[in-house]
Structure formats: C-alpha cells, structure tokens
Amino acid sequence: MFSDELAGNASRKRQEQAKARRRKIVEEQRKRKEGNETTYSSDKKVLQSASCRVEDTTKERKKSVPIEDFKKEFNVGIKTSKGLVVDKALEQRELRSVQKRSNLAAERIQSSFRAYVSNKKLIVEQKAILGKRLNDLVAVSKLLAKQNQKFCPPPSMVSLMLNQMLFVMHSRPRMRKIRKTKNDIGTIEFQYFSQISDSFVESDAKIIARVIEFGVIPGLLSSDRNLDPSSVWLQSAEGKIKLIKLMRLCIFLIIARQYTSTKRSDVNKQNKSSKLAASEDDVLVIYRMISIIIGRNETQHEERSEVATFCRTLFFSCRNCADYPISIGKRPIKEENLDLISLLRTFLLFPSGMKLNVIPRNADSLREKSISACDRSRADGLYNLISNLAWDRNDTVTSSRLFAEIFTVPLLTWRLEQSTIDNIVGKRSKDEKVDNPPFIYFMDAFLNVHGNSDMGECIPSDDVPVTICPSPPLLSLCANMSQLGAICPLIYDNDRLCSTVDVAIVYFKFMSLLVENTPLGSFSSRESEIGWVEEGSRLSPIVVSSIVRDQCKILLAEDFVRKVFRTALDIDVVSVDTVLHQKDEKDIKIEEELKSIQSESALSVAAKEATADHSTGFWQKSKWARNLSKKVTSLLGGNSKMSRSNDLHRESSECVSVLSTNQNSQQEKSNVKMSEGLNVKTANQHINKIQRQELLSCLTRTYAIIVSRWGGYARDIINVPATTPTVKVMERPDYSITPLLNVLCFSTSYLNISWALMQNNDALIGDLRDIVDVKKRPFPIRMTDLNSTCHKGKIDITRNMGSAFLLLMLSSLAHSLIVTDDVELHELESPLPKHQIRRCVILLKNILHRACCLDLNLEGFPKSNHVGLSLINLSAKVLRDLYDRSSRRLLCPPKLWLINDLFDSDIRKCKTYEDFCDILHHPVLRVCPFFLSFKQRLKLFDRLTTTNRESVQGRNDGHSFRPGVHIHIMRGRLIEDGLTHLNKLGPNLRQRLIVQYVNSAGATEVGLDAGGLFKEFWSDLSSQSFNPNWALFRETEDGFLYPNPSSNTAHGSDDIILFEFLGRILGKAMYENITIKPQFAHFFLSYLRGDYNFLHMLPDLSTMDRTLYNNLMFLKTYDGDAMDLCLTFAVSKDDFGSNEEISLIPGGENMDVTNSNKHRYIEMVAKYYVCDRIKDQCEAFRRGLWDVIDKKWLQIFNEPELQVVISGPNDGSIDVEDMKANTKLVGGYTVFDKNINRFWRVVKSFNAKQRAQLLRFVTSCERPPPLGFASMNPPFTIQRVPFMNNDQLPTASTCFNILKLPAYSSEKLLRDRLLYSIQSGCGFELT
C-alpha cells in the first residue's frame, strides 16, 4: 500500500510537473509575442531590408505558383497565423544574424586591441633591447677607435640586430595587408612607402643608421669574408627577404627624410618641420652602405659579388622585365622589385601618390614655387643616390636608363634642388676644374646604348597619358636639355677654367638629333595640339603646355644664341675680308660688262633685252657639231673646251669653280681654309681651332634644322605630285625664329664668315658640288636631309654639311635683305660685297635649275624632306629678291640670270593655247621665270595672247572671223562712248570689237574696220584716259603714272568704276598686242602683277615723293632726340586745297615720335603714301586688267619688262634698220627700186616724233612692238601706187599695216607729201 501510495504520488507529481511546464511555455509564448511586437516597432529600420526580401519572395512565389494554390495557401495562412507567421519568422532570423555579426565584430575588436597592446609591448621591449645592444656596440666601437683599432661585430650578432630592427620597423599593429594590384600610377612600392610613413617615428631613422654604420658596414669592409654579414644573405629565402626589406627601409629613409606629414590629405602641403626627418649624416651612412654593396665587382669573393649583382638587379632592373632574374626558392619575386629609376620617375611625375596633373595648374603663375619643397627634397635624395651609383661605377646601362626615364620628366629642373641642378650642369667653385658635366655623361651613355635607333622608341612614352601630362617625352627632353644647356658654364661661358669646347660640341650634336624628332609644338609661338579627347559628342584638342614650350625656346633666346655663336665665330676678320673682297677674272669681266650698261636705266636695258639674242650658237648647241669641232681642233693640235660630255656637268663645274676665289694658287687657298682661318682671343688661346670649327658645324646643323622646320620654308613650291615632308613642319614662319635670325644677321658675323667658308673649305665645296651635279647625287634636292648618324655613341654630322651651311646662310641673307635698302646694297656693299652677291646668284641659279628641271626627270622618289624643301624655297626667295632689286637698279648683267636654250625647242613645238599654257605652268616659269630671256618670255606672252585671241575671235584670215561687238564712237567723245559701250562687257572684252567712227557732224565715216580702226580707237582712248589732267592719275618726278589718291574728290563714287574701266583698256591693249604710250610707276606695276613686295616701300616712296623720302631718311639717321622735331603718328591729306589729318594708328595724333618708335613711324608713313591711300584705286584697276589678261601671264615679267610689254621701248624710238629689214614690198616695189631707197633716206632724216607719226599713220600705233618689227602681224608693208600727179598723197590701210606709196619723181616731193599725210590728222577724208 505504501508502495502504491508512493507510486501514485509520483505519478501525480509527474503530471503536475507536466502541467507546470505547459503553463510556463504558454506564458513564455505570450511574453515573447508581446516582446516581438515591441521589438518590431523599435527595430523597424533594421528589419526593413528583411521585410523587403520577404515581399520579394512572396512576389516570386506568386509568379511561380498557380493562382488557385496561392489562394489556398494564403487563406490557410490567414486562418492559422493571421498573416504574420512568415514575416515574423524572417524578422527573427534577421535579428539573430545581426546579433551574431555584432558579437563577432566585438570579439575581433577585443582581439585586435589585445594584440595591439601585446604587440606594442613586444615592440617596445625589442626596441629597448635593440637600443641597449646598439649602445654597447657604439661604445665598444668608439673605445677601440680611440686606440686606432676597428671593431667588426660577429655576423651572428649583426643578423640578430638586423632581425630585431626589421621586426621593429615592419611589425605595426595598424598595418594592413596591401593589395598587390596596380594603382593609377602603377607602383606597389609607392603604396608600401606611404604605409611606412604613416607609422614612422623619429627615433627609427637613427636606429637604422646606427645599425648600418656600426653593425653592417664594418663587416662589409672587412677583408675577412667570415665577418661579412652579407655572405649568408643569399643562401636562403629568408635571407633574401631580409636583404630586400633592409634595402627597402634604406630607400624609404632617403626619400622620406623631409616627408613629415602623417595624413594622406596633407601630402601636397609644404611642411617646414623636420621632426621625423633623418639627418644628413644618417643619409650619408645609407649612401655609403649601398655604394659598398653595389660597388663590388667580380674580382672579389664569389658570395660578395653575388650580393652585389642581386642588389644591382633589385635596384636597376625594370619592373616590367619579363625575364626578371631574382627569385626566392621556386617563386619569383618580381613583385618585390625595387627599381629605383622607375620609382624616381614615379615620384617626379606624381609626388602626391595620386593621379593628378603632372604639370601643376598654377605653374604659369608660381613657376618653380608650384613644386613644394617637400616633394622636391624627396625626389632629390633618390636622384642623388641613383646618379652617384651610376657615376661612380661608370655604369653605362644604368646611366642610359636614368637619362631616358628621368630627363624626359616635364619641369625636371623645378623638381630637384638647385644644388643638384648645379651639380648636373657641372657648376663648381671658381678654382675647381670640370671637364664633363653629369648630364653630358648620361647623354653619352644613352647614345652608346641605343646607337642609331629611333630616339622616340628608346624613351618611355606610354606610362603617362597626355590627358594629364600635355608634354610628350621628346618635348620634355628638349625642354630639359635646353634649360640645362643654357645654364651649363661649359656651353655658354668660356671664361671658366675649361680647356676645350668639347662639351658644347657633344651637346649640340645631340640637340641636332633631338630637334629633328621633337614635336612641332617645341619651338612654336602658337598653341599646338598633341592629341584629342572626347567631350560629349565633339573632340577637343590637348594643347602643349606653354611652360614647357617656353623652356624649349631658351635654345632660341638671343643672349644664348649670341654667346654660343660668338664662341664659334671668333675668326680673324682680316682673313674673312680677304676672302670676301678678292676678285677673280670672272668677277672683273662681269663688272666690266655691267659698267657698259650702268648708265642706262633698268627700263632701257629691258627694252634692249626684248630684241637681244641669247641663244647658244649652232656649234655649241648641236651635239654632232660639237663633236666635229672637237675632231678638227684635235687635228690642228688644239684643245677645245667643248669636249665635255654634257652641258649639265659643265654648268655645275662652273658654278662650283666660282665659289673658289683662288683656283690658281693652292698655297693662298690653304691660308684661308676653315681649319686654319680660325683665330682665338688672347683670353682663350687654350681652345683648339679644330674644336671651334667643329662647334660651328654643330651649331649650323642644329639651327638649320630648326629654321627648316619652324621657319615656314618647307613648302613644295614646285608642286611635285605626292611629295610630303617626312616630319611635321610649320606651314607659316613662326615668330620664335625671328630672334635667332636677328642675332645671326645683326649681332654676329655669321653671314660673312659662313659664305667665306663655303668658298674655301674643300668639304663644303664638295657638298655644294653634289647638290648641283645630278650625276654625283642621283636623287632630287627636295630629299636632302640633315639626319645625323650615331655609331658607338659618336654622332656623325659631316654628311650634307654644305647643305646645312647653305640653308642657314640663305635664311640669314633673306632676313638681312628685309632691312637693306638699295643704298646699303650698292654703295655700302652690305650685307655682302656685290661680286659675292653675283656668285651667290650663280650658285642659287644652278640649284633652282636642277630642282625645277632636272629633278623632274628622276623617278622613284615620292617623298621629300623639310631640309630639301626649305633649301629650294629659300633659294627661290633670295634669288627673286635679288632679281627684283636688280630690276630697280642693275645688280647683275641680264645674261647672268639666264639658263641658255631653256624651252627653246618646247616653245617651237607648241601649236595651241593649251600647249603654251602647259609651258606657263612649268615650275621654272612659276618659281624663277627670269631663267628665260626676256625675249623668250615675250614670245611666250605673244603666243599666249595670239592663240587665245584666235580661239575667241577666230583667225585673221578673212574667213574664220567670228561675229564681233559693233560700237559707234564719236571722235570727240572717246572716253564717254567707250565707257558706255565697253565697260559692261567685263571679261567678254576679249571678243572682237568692230569700231564705226562718227565725225563731229554726226555722219558715219566711210572706213570699214578690219582691225585698223579698232587699233586707232584704242590708242586714242588710252592716250586720253591716262592723261593726268583727267585727275585719275598723277605723275612722279620722273614722269611715271600712278593712281591719284584724290580721284574720289574729282570724280565722286564713279572713280572706282573708271579705274576698272581703265584696267580693262590696258588689258585689251595688251591682249591685242597694241603698244600704248602711258608709262607707269614701278610700284604700281608691282600691284598689277599681284605680288607687291612691301619691303620695297621706302625705295618706292623715293620715286613718288623725293622730298618726303629725304625727310624720313633724315629722321632715320638723326642723332638727337626725335621729340625735338615735334612729329606725331599722323599725316596731313591735301585734296585740292582741303587739308585733313589722318592718324596712322588709333590715337596717333596724340602720340609723339621718339627715338624708340621712329623706325615704326617711318615704315607706317611709307606704307600710307605708297599703299594705303591708293589701295582702292589699285585694286579696282587690277580687277579690270585681270578680267582680260590672266595674272599668271603677267607674273613672268618684272616691272621694267612689264612696262616694255605695255608700251614698248621707254623712249618710243624706232629703229629704222630693224623696220627696213622687216618690211614687205608689194605692188612692183623691190629693194633695188630707187623710190624705196628715197623712202628710207627720208625716214632716216625724220626726227623721233615724225617717225612715230609715220608708224601711227600706217599701223594706228605710234610705238613699235616690243619684239621689234619682225613680230608685227601683218608685217609693215609698202605697196606701189601708180603716180598720177604731184598732188597725189600717200595713203594707208591700217587694218593690214600697208603704206600705199606713189612713185614720186624726186626725194623732196616724196618727203613733202609724206609729211603732209602723216601730220594732217584726218580720218578717211583724204582717202
């Protein structure tokens, strides 16, 4: 029973416990529900993301589950959990996850803190132990040092100290593992160094330096290799890692010795504090250790040399090398590469460690201050380490990399300390001797390594995009080298204790290579693009940095150019004068020929040249005739000069022989050779003459390339198909070249000396001979280049040296002629003596002859070089300028400009207008038409007008004439009727005009126009139109016409129409081969040709107003104060008594003329009188002229020649013998007829006026044709008329140039009747 009771109690007890547990569970569920609702409201934001995911899950389920099943589940959910079961379950899960993450974070923070505390304690303890050991080591070392003994600690002790030091420096609790991926800059080391700098403390630098000084260096210097700690570094992977970490710490200490910022945001700030910086002594210790390790060579122990090789590879092997040799075990450690040169380039380009603009935005205003002192000092330390190692070890490869990667950094001289820049250029104390500056040594190493490779491929070009660095590597290199050369005392200053100019020679040899390859923006004064970047839907140019451009142009600075050229041009003036003023037989012969025509005007000489025959004789022109003459001469025992193989070789030989003044005496020639003509100043007698010669050649080559690329001369004026320069060139002259040319022309004697050298140096003469002779240089002149070659580090500049001298000399001569007037050229013989000018003409003539004629026959040369194109362009420019000056005042005999027998056969073969146009478009007639005689060009013009006239009007044979334009002209209203009927025709004025005269009574004259009436009308019209009394033209003091500046006052707004009409009158006269009387001023004829040379304004002013010209010349040479003359920048305009003041510049009436601006005043006054005030009239006249005459037809003549084309000989004199020789006799007359003989005796007895009246009576023109009577078409004809009585008068048919002459019984009767007819002035009343 007791047991049953006990059993029942136990059963009840278990039941009660079960009920209690159920009640407790229910209570806990109720409390949890209430707690969940409270937590839900408070943590709503935390659970919002979980709710969103639940909603997304629900949506997905709605999409994937059928609608009926979804409704069932939804209804069941509502019934069982009232819609909150799923949501609350997910919320609970999310809360638990958040809580779990929070707990894990707290655990990590606690663990990290405990690790930080323990690690910090361990670091402090290890640093204290290391410090104690260092103190003991230092004490022992100093104690033994006092006894003159050296202490070398055991390698085990050194290894222990190194391990402790590396642990202290690298075990940082806050240091995180760095991702080994490239950043924007591309350097892992940069990030690593930045982390070290964030946790570096002041005492760390001293610890590193003391461990190295007292622990590592003594073992490295010990002769016992067992005491060398480095002997075991490469025996294990841990040893290699230890060595790499040690070197990394040393490099960091060097570059961060002034880097005191602890925040990345403060990197760019300039901090004057040096709290964390290592001292200079510490840095020197590190330099010493690295130098000792790397300086070991193969002659030392194998283990030591391996360490040296390992460190050199570590420091100076490019990180991008695919076959990087260093490895730890089986794993290569390419990522551990510590390439110092690449690291230095990175620091120089991006000192802040972030991808910013390489050239600071404020560089234009702040200049050097835009680079912070902190950044400059960091880069300076690393540069000194690398350069010292490369210099001390004479490491050519490292020096080459240093030059290629560091000297191509923009603004390099701003990014290093001034002391370092002084060391680079070799600046030392006054008593210290320097032979080779470091930057020249690095440059030589670069040339030795890369040799003749393309310079653009030898330097880094793709590591920095142009979007953040608007300065390509070659441009940056040019800027840096220009700056270094300008401050190097061995290049621009010879007063220092230097024995040679070898440094300057090497420098300018390299610059000749560099300027050939540098971008076009280097020396440009205008903005130049180097790339394009997309901005939305358009492209924007990336412009070259103006700061870098300015640094490049230091090479062209006047002071720099003046000093270097004066160093090279220090030649004895007496010897140069001897060469330039010495004359040979050819010079004397040319001068005698010139004296014979010196008294004649240029117009008279041109008129004579129109009928002169310069063609080569039969025995010289025919090949078989030359051979026959040669054989006959040989039979007679003579020696003929015609035995040369071809004319080209003869002309080239004559050209080059002209350049040598002393052909008969080799001894005299050797006395003035370039190598022996150099004389040195007393202060610099130590400088070798040969070195000066070489320096002059280097300077000439460098600046000749600059002039050819940036001078605007590299244009193809010959228009050879598919010829383009190999490099980019300036299409227009750049203003930056002007200072260079100013120095060469006006501050040095380069022009005279270079021209003298070209006549006396065998090498230069040989080069010039090659230029002229197509046999010796079988490729076109346009392909001439100045590309230097490099072999084993030596640059060869001897090739085409004559072209370089000639190009720079011609550019100087062209620049000098800009400011040289006729008085200076002829009387003062400046810039060169006149006989030397003639020699230059001969040389340039042969160069252009080959370029325009002979080179066109050479095939297979599609490309051109800017040097060859510039040489052709400059030759044409100088030769054309000299020819224009000779057309004003004879400088050379006319035949000196000619190329014999040029185009003779071609012109004879031409039949149609198109054939003659092909000749007109030939390069010779476009570039240098004066190579053809005036007579040849006049014939070409005659054939052009004749063939074109026949194609428009039809042939003058009476059958193929096309219908012309009929006009009625009253003899008393020639100008009015002509303007009414003709001006509206415009270009159609080329059509045939049929003139019907109306007399004063209004009756139509009986004459029929078959050409004669038109010629009579046009002669009378031109005579009246160009009459100065009509107020459209004025006369100069010499009687030449130019447009009246006051024509608007006299004729109102119609003056422009009248000038266009007068232009058409002149054009029609030239088109119909009618010579008219008006003669125009020289400058006005230049306007008509369409290429007026504004450099001739002052000489033109002298012909217009001699008094004004003399006043301006007085002002130009006035020694006193120009303000005393009370002149302003204004002139007075006098129009028929009304005065008006014209300002030459805005506000000119209030601006005084001073000594500083008087040259500008003179130019502006000349420009106003010669150009500005008649500009509208000249343009209107030219428009009318060009309506009828193509301007290309006019441009083959100079001004005097064009005047001869217009009006024939200037005095209008008639050559009776020429007229007699070309007269046709018809109707029974013969040359033996006594009446014809009487007629010629009568004509010879006439004066000039009577002869002109006779010519007008027969041909309607009183002036003979320019080519003489042989060119008259129809020819001058005398027809026999039966004699009826003594009252019968001679008559004429002007349409056919026929004089109908009766057979008079006596000479007196013939004279009287002939004079009566030609002087009556009647029309057809006497017919």
Q: Known catalytic residues?
A: 1295
How far apart are the C-alpha atoms of 879 and 493, rounded to whole Å? Answer: 38
Closest CA to 1017 of 1216, 1284, 1294: 1294
- Please answer whether residues 846 and 772 qualify as being in contact, where contact means their C-beta atoms are separated by less than 8 angstroms: yes
Q: Is 1270 helix (H, G, I), strand (E, B) or coil?
A: helix
Closest CA to 1281 of 1323, 1219, 1228: 1228
The alpha-helical segments, DSSP class H, found in 557-646 are 558-568, 573-581, 585-598, 602-609, 618-621, 623-635
Instruction: Please name the amino acid found at residue 760.
Output: N
How far apart are the C-alpha atoms of 531 and 533, rounded to whole Å? Answer: 7
- DSSP labels for 1105-1122? -HHHHHHHHHHHT--S-G
Cα angle for residues 432, 434, 440 (degrees, 5° grid): 155
- Please answer whether residues 1070 and 1191 qualify as being in contact, where contact means their C-beta atoms are separated by less than 8 angstroms: no
| Residue 155 preceded by cis peptide, ω within 30 | no
Q: Is 1094 helix (H, G, I), strand (E, B) or coil?
A: helix
Q: What is the largest CA-CA distance in the chain?
A: 203
* Sequence-ordered list of residues with C-beta below 8 angstroms from that of 1307, at least 6 positions apart, any chain: 1238, 1241, 1242
Would you say how long the chain is, in residues? Answer: 1327
SS3 per-residue string spanning 4-41: HHHHHHHHHHHHHHHHHHHHHHHHHHHHHHHHHHHHHH
Q: Beta strands 1041-1043 and 1033-1035: pairing type?
A: antiparallel
| Residue 831 preceded by cis peptide, ω within 30 | yes
CB atoms within 10 A of CB 270: 13
Burial of 363 (0-12, 13-18, 19+ CB in 10 A): buried
Instruction: Please name the amino acid found at residue 1318.
Output: I
Cα angle for residues 1095, 1097, 1102 (degrees, 5° grid): 140
- Please answer whether residues 879 and 848 qualify as being in contact, where contact means their C-beta atoms are separated by less than 8 angstroms: yes
Instruction: Please name the amino acid found at residue 248.
Output: R
Q: How big is the chain by its Cα radius of gyration, in Å?
A: 49
Helices vs strands, H then E, count in the chain: 57, 16
The pair of three-digit structure tokens given for residue 915, joined into one six-digit string: 């054939």
How far apart are the C-alpha atoms of 48 and 37, rounded to whole Å? Answer: 15
- Please answer whether residues 366 and 360 qualify as being in contact, where contact means their C-beta atoms are separated by less than 8 angstroms: yes
CA distances from 725 to 456, 609, 769 (A): 18, 40, 24
CB atoms within 10 A of CB 288: 15
Cα angle for residues 222, 394, 304 (degrees, 5° grid): 30
How far apart are the C-alpha atoms of 1239 and 1288, rounded to whole Å? Answer: 16
Helix axes 585-598, 834-852, angle to 10 degrees: 100
Q: Is 686 helix (H, G, I), strand (E, B) or coil?
A: coil
Backbone angles phi and psi of 639, in degrees to 5: -135, 110
Backbone angles phi and psi of 883, in degrees to 5: -65, -40
**Long-range CB contacts (within 8 A, 24+) of 172-180:** 172/199, 173/112, 173/115, 173/116, 173/119, 173/120, 174/116, 174/198, 174/199, 175/199, 180/335
